[in-house]
Amino acid sequence: MNILIGLLLVVSCTQISTSAGCNKALCASDVSKCLLQELCQCQVTEAGCSCCRECMLCLGPLWEQCCKCTGLCKDKHGKDTQHTSLSYVDDLLLPIPSLFQTLATVPDNDGTSGWTYHVLPVSDEVNQQEHENHILLGSHKVMEAVIVPPVEDTTDNCTVLYFNTCVSITRCKQSCELVGASKYRWFQNGCCECIGCNCIAYGSKELGCQSCKS
């Protein structure tokens, strides 16, 4: 049995990405385990990333350091991206618009709220929806089943909330759920953006976390 497990690990290790950013010394064992469970064996396409969520859960705290070994840290054209621009976006099931709007617009006069908010025209948000450096989690598609008004006729604003410090993707999702957001965007450097219900797509592609920009 031990010999069989060893052979399986050797075989799965050959599937680990040879990307220059892949730290095999740190990641080989955990990535191999996830590959053996078939949790990281998909490709990023325009339709999204069908296994990214499961792969993230499998790798846990090692996701940020080891995702390049899975081949899932690439944009839809297959090119490696800088961690400060690559992001993952997803929907949240139970948004609370009134809570989000209240919290997002509270003035942070003493710097204790832990977040800052940013407002951008929905027309700008829509224009950013097809930028190539984000990965859609699950089977979600940007703007799926949503009728987008013409840009010139759109006067509404989109409110997003950025947490000041870096967080993990799991913490980002949980925090955005707590503030009533409808969606979230997590950047590869740890910046977390919660997206309000008045946004049509997935908020801003720009980093806005005050203490998480490296």
Instruction: Give yes or no: residues 98 and 177 share one domain.
Output: yes
Mean pLDDT taken over the chain:
75
**Residue 117 and residue 65 in one domain:** no
Question: Are 111 and 163 in a shared domain?
Answer: yes
Of 36, 70, 104, the last residue of a domain is: 70
Range of the domain at 36: 2-70
> Using CB atoms within 10 A of its CB, is residue 4 exposed (0-12), middle (13-18) or buried (19+)?
exposed
Strand, coil or helix: 25: helix
Would you say residue 207 lies in a domain? no
Q: Give the bridge partners for 74, in sequence order.
A: 80
Residue 98 contacts residue 196 (beta carbons within 8 Å):
no
Q: Identify whether residues 139 and 63 lie together within a single domain.
A: no
- The two structure tokens encoding residue 54: 């499961």
Instruction: Please write the tens of the pLDDT for every residue from 179-208.
Output: 999 999 998 888 999 999 999 888 888 888
Pair (52, 9) in one structural domain: yes
CA–CA gap between residue 101 and residue 17 (Å, rounded): 42
Task: For residues 55 and 67, give the distance between their C-alpha atoms in angstroms, rounded to a whole number.
Answer: 9
Average pLDDT for 53-73 = 81
- 43, 70, 97 - which closes a domain: 70
> Is residue 205 in some structural domain?
no
Tokens 């385990």 label which residue? 33
Phi/psi for 126 (5° steps) reads -60, -40
- C-alpha 54/C-alpha 35 separation (Å) is 11
Q: What is the mean pLDDT of residues 74-85?
A: 48
CA distances from 178 to 94, 101, 136, 174, 181 (A): 10, 13, 21, 6, 8
User: Starting at the edge strand that comes first in sequence, how are the strands of the sheet with 115-121 ordered?
Assistant: 115-121, 157-163, 192-195, 183-187, 87-91, 134-136
Q: What is the arithmetic mean of pLDDT over 75-100?
A: 71
H or E stretch at 161: strand 157-163
Q: Do residues 49 and 135 lie in contact, with contact meaning Cβ atoms separated by under 8 Å? A: yes
Query: In this predicted structure, what is the pLDDT of residue 37?
Result: 86
At residue 170 the predicted structure's pLDDT band, cuts being 50, 70 and 90, is confident
Cα dihedral sign for 47, 84, 99, 125?
negative
Number of structural domains found in the chain:
2
Q: How far apart are CA 71 and CA 78, in angstroms?
A: 9
Whether residue 173 sits in one domain with residue 125: yes
* Residues 30 and 92 both lie in one domain: no
Domain co-membership, 92 together with 55: no
Does residue 142 lie within any of the structural domains? yes
